Amino acid sequence: MTLQQQIRANRWKTLLVVVSFAVLIVVFAAASAVFVGRAGAIGLLAFGAAYGLFAWWNAGRLVGGLTHAQPLEKRDDPELYRLIENVSIAAGLPATPPIYLIDDPAPNAFAAGSRPSSIYVGVTSGLRKLMPERELEAVLAHEISHIRNKDVRLMTLAAVLVGVIAIISDFAFRMAFFGGRGGGRDRNPLQLIAAIVAILLAPLAAVLLQMALSRRREYLADASAAAILNDPEAMALALRRLQLDTSEVQYADRATAHLFIESPTRAVRGSGAFLAGLFQTHPSLQARIEVLQEAGGFELPALPPGAPED
């Protein structure tokens, strides 16, 4: 599959995901109506919509706060800005996004934001120190690809929708079991069980959707970065360097994990088992390196014995 075909396929998947989310939210609202009545369900939906809009509008700032990212001026690190400017030009972005620095020794990077004016690239100080220029450029190209392929926008949307479902679910439970006008007593028990299952499963399904989305996009961003720089080996070398490093980003958790270039925490990295696989935001670094090796027709030296594979 070529890059262009993959981007096109991705657009359909994006639509599919947005529609799935919409269906999920409607099913969910219908289910909660059993507990909180029709007016309650409409109220919850309205509250969820308001919360979602607020989160969408402020997504960049929220992520910046969660990861402790500070804006970096061009004069503070002209070299890094030179790289990101070149990469943005090669990717055909209309403007170069600003860089935010995270003071953390673990090497990692992410792109965040929702509106075009609020999108930025976050880089840890560890990444800046660890990576030679060629690999640093590849990591920046990976993040710029996420921006150009509209991954950042979609992932932010997915995160906001997951948040909306989670918060509505939380409220529905509180309203149903502590006061509220819960009219559940005269309902069919089967209907009640179905409603409980729906309310329990909706947030879970939302998270799974978000993660499946994230994993596919990592391969695409790797391939885009390789194409932008015309250098698949640089991307593979950068991933290999991340593979050999085992430190974790301090201010990263499940809420922000899907944004990073590699899974930022051990808990999120998990093991290779099927169930853990479902909950991973990223494919293993080894799998990503192998895809790049195949595309570029080169081979990195083997891993030293005992090194982690993901």
- ∠ CA 203-23-156, nearest 5°, is 60
State in angstroms the smallest separation of the CB of 215 from another protein.
Answer: 5
R_g of the chain, CA atoms, integer Å: 21
**Using N-to-C axis directions, what is the helix angle for 189-229 and 285-296, rounded to 10°?**
40
Which residue of 150, 219, 300, 310 would you call a contact of another protein, by CB under 8 A?
219
Classify 297 in phi/psi space as left (phi over 0), alpha (psi -120 to 50) or beta.
left
Question: Cβ of residue 93: shortest distance to another protein, in angstroms?
Answer: 9
* Binder of another protein out of 7, 45, 167, 295 (CB under 8 A): 295
CB-wise, 123 or 225, nearer to another protein?
A: 225
Asked if residue 236 binds another protein (CB under 8 A), the reply is no
Site string for another protein, 82-121 (x = CB under 8 A): x--xxx-xxxx-----------------------------
* Candidate segments 106-114, 188-196, 221-229, 253-261, binder of another protein by CB under 8 A: 221-229
32, 40 contact by CB (below 8 A): yes
Q: Which is nearer to another protein, 4 or 188 (CB)?
A: 4
Verify binding: residue 232, another protein, rule CB under 8 A.
Answer: yes
Q: Phi and psi of 210, rounded to 5°?
A: -60, -40
Specify the 3-state DSSP secondary structure of 215. Answer: helix
CB 55 within 8 A of CB 160: yes
Contacts of residue 143, defined as CB under 8 A and 6 or more positions apart, other chains included, come to: 109, 110, 111, 121, 221, 261
The CB-of-101 to another protein minimum distance in angstroms stands at: 21
- Nearest approach, Cβ of 33 to another protein (angstroms)? 37
> Does the annotation count 143 as an active-site position?
yes
Residue from 37, 180, 296, 308 binding another protein (CB under 8 A): 296
Eight-class DSSP state of 105: S
Does 223 contact another protein by CB under 8 A?
yes
Residue 118, class by beta-carbon neighbours within 10 Å (0-12 exposed, 13-18 middle, 19+ buried)? Answer: middle
Interface mask (CB under 8 A) for another protein, residues 267-286, using x and -? Answer: ----------x-----x---
The residue among 232 and 264 lying less far from another protein, judged by its C-beta, is 232
Asked whether the beta carbons of 292 and 239 are under 8 A apart, the reply is: yes
Residues found near another protein in the complex (CB under 8 A): 1-4, 6, 82, 85-87, 89-92, 215-216, 219-220, 222-223, 226-232, 277, 283, 287, 291-292, 294-297
Provide the annotated active-site residues: 143
